Each structure stands twice: as structure tokens, then as C-alpha cells.
Amino acid sequence: MGRFGKRDDLVVHQQEPFNAETGLESLTDPVTQTDAFYVRGHGAVPEIDPEAWRLRVHGMVERELSLSLETLREAFRERTVTATLQCAGNRRAGLVAIRDIPGEAPWGPGATGTATWTGVALGDVLALAAPLDDATDVGFEGADQCPEAKPLQLFGGSIPLDKARRSEVLLAWAMNGEPLEPVHGAPLRVVVPGYIGARSVKWLERVELRREPWPGYYQHVVYRLVPADGTPGPGVGMPLGLVALNSDVLSPRDGEAVDAGLVGVHGYAFAGGDRYVARVDVSVDGGATWTQAELLQDLGRWAWRQWRITLDLAPGEHELLVRAWDSSAATQPEDEATVWNPKGYVNNARPRIRIRAINPR
């Protein structure tokens, strides 16, 4: 086992703060095992005494709250949601290959995963605090100090109050049926289904009702989509929130040799926001023709759909191209070059892999 009890096949981009993505083989599980789940951190994992820990709920509320983990468990209904989290930098390596993106880790396709989260609905806690009428946003602040932030600050972000009140948004203390591991945000984290992973703040200590979005470094400066000809900076571009429709091929791997004939192809597709995956198509002729893949187990509205298809491949080189469609009839951009941006975010272009079919011995 690797650091923090993680599997050895994780691709580690940084040891401190720890940043590692899931290996493709581990992503083939419908629910990603905790020891294989990706980690995105901006500071060292904080040491928190769960007995002394309290969650502060304040700001534009009628009633400020200070809640222990025991109080959260006893005072509110327990809820469970199966949800996919995906880092905004997932598949950045494909954009780096087009044009360099200095200072950003070349995340591959493994900065995503699906888990079953257990806790209480944030909306139930907010109802007790009673937001004031002119509150519009809910900010979250964790306990992790982030040395890259200017000025030095704790990690934070916000979501609209309308989203925060929905039953799927959790204050979670368990992941896949076990207590949260420290590296995943123990004792308590936010889980915001349908939004980029950065909004699911770990090591949560403070919830603030506000009349405007979070002003901190990681929402006002970092997690923003900057135009291709733009320069990242405070308030530049659009803040990232809802996850864009995305998909990938999990097996076979890019560059792999397979036996000619019937070849099984397996992947996932994920639609953020309130959308869901409606269809996945696969092409072996550069997009001239498409064959519809089979959608596998439906894990619920907030989780990915894995898919599979069997292709009959003659000996030789083949390029597989995938496109997902969501419930709004939107599909993925055709080419990575069209979505390149200076931060390398939101690479949701149609994935392509090249495989070589050989005659079996």
C-alpha cells in the first residue's frame, strides 16, 4: 500500500500536498474503492481532534449554530447518496499535449471516481439556522492551510443557496460505508453532486450564508475557465461550478495490443448538474459511422453511467472515438484543440484511443 493507505497503482503527481489519480483498472468498478479514490489537495492533511471539532454555521442566518459530530448524527436524519466527484483538471494531460500549461499538474483520466456518501443533508442544517431572505450563496471553509494561495488562506468555496438546500448535498462523515479517512476530509466534508470536486470542501469547519459567492483564492482566482487567449488572474474568465458532460475509455488502454476479432470496450460517461447520460456512441472509422453502446447499472441521478460495447476488429491499427449524449441532447466537443485553455480545465472532448488488433497465436 502507498501513502494514506492508497493502492500502489495510483498515479502520484505530488507528495505534499498529496495529489494522486486513480488507475484506470480501478475505475472499472461501478463504485470506486476508497483505497483507489483520487485525492486532490491544496495543503497538507490537517490534524483534527474529532471530539473537540465543531461545525460553525453563521453569516446571514437567524440562528448561529455550533454543532459537534455527535449532534449532527443525533439531531438530523441520516442520508446516503451515490455520487461521482470529478476534478476540474481531469484529463488535463490531453490539453498539455497540444500546448504547454506551466504550473499545472498533468492530470490524466483518473481524477474522478464514484462513491457512496453518508451524512446529513446540508439543507436540513440550513433549515435549523434559518437563512435570511437576502442570502443567496453558501460558503464552505476547510481546515487545510493552502501555501499556494495569495494571501495564505484556508481552502474554501461556495455554491448557490438553491443548490445547497437540495437533499443530495450532504455533510458527509462516511464514504463507502466506512468512516471518512483523514485524506478524504474527516471528520466531515461537503459532497456537492453535479459540481466540480473543488466545491466538495474537505475538513469542513465553517458554513457561511452570504449574499455573494465566495471571494477566496480558489473561487475568485483559480477554478475559473479563462479564454484561450486570456491570462489567468483575479476574476478573469468564468467560475467553474457544474461539471461538463464527459466520458472516457477504461479498457482497453490507449496503445494496447488486443486479439483481432471480437473486442470488448468498457468506459464511463458522466453528466453534471441536473442532467443525466442518455446515450454513448463508439466509432472505429474516425466518426464516419457510430454504434450505440450499452449503458450499464444505473447508480442514481448523481453517478456516472458505465458502458460497454463489443467490436469486431480486423487485424491492424484502429482508432476508437467515443461521444456521450446527455438528457439535454448535448454531446461532447469533437476535438481537444477546441477546448484548450490556459489552466487546462474542463477537457470534455471526445476521447480517442489507438489500439492494435493482432492475430491470436
103-148 residue pLDDT tens: 999 999 999 999 999 999 999 999 999 999 999 999 999 999 999 9
Q: What is the C-alpha radius of gyration for the chain, rounded to an integer number of angstroms?
A: 21
Asked if the domains 3-239 and 246-358 are classified in one and the same CATH topology, the answer is no
Mean pLDDT of all residues belonging to the chain: 97
Cell of 181: 479517512
Residue 175, C-beta contacts closer than 8 angstroms, at least 6 positions apart:
34, 37, 115, 116, 117, 118, 181, 184
Give the per-residue pLDDT at 359: 86
Per DSSP, the residues of 189-202 read EEE-TTB-GGGS-S
Domains of the chain by residue range: 3-239, 246-358
Residue 1's pLDDT is what? 73
Mean pLDDT of 28-37: 97
Residue 271 has pLDDT above 80, yes or no: yes
CATH class of the domain whose range is 3-239: alpha beta
Residue 316 CB neighbour total at 10 angstroms? 9
The proportion of the chain whose per-residue pLDDT surpasses 90, expressed as a percent, equals 98
Task: Report, as an integer, the average pLDDT of 8-20.
Answer: 95
Please compute the mean of the pLDDT values over residues 81-101 and round it to a whole number.
97
Segment 172-203, tens digit of pLDDT: 999 999 999 999 999 999 999 999 999 999 99
Q: Which CATH class is domain 246-358?
A: mainly beta
64: CB partners within 8 A, 6+ apart: 56, 57, 58, 129
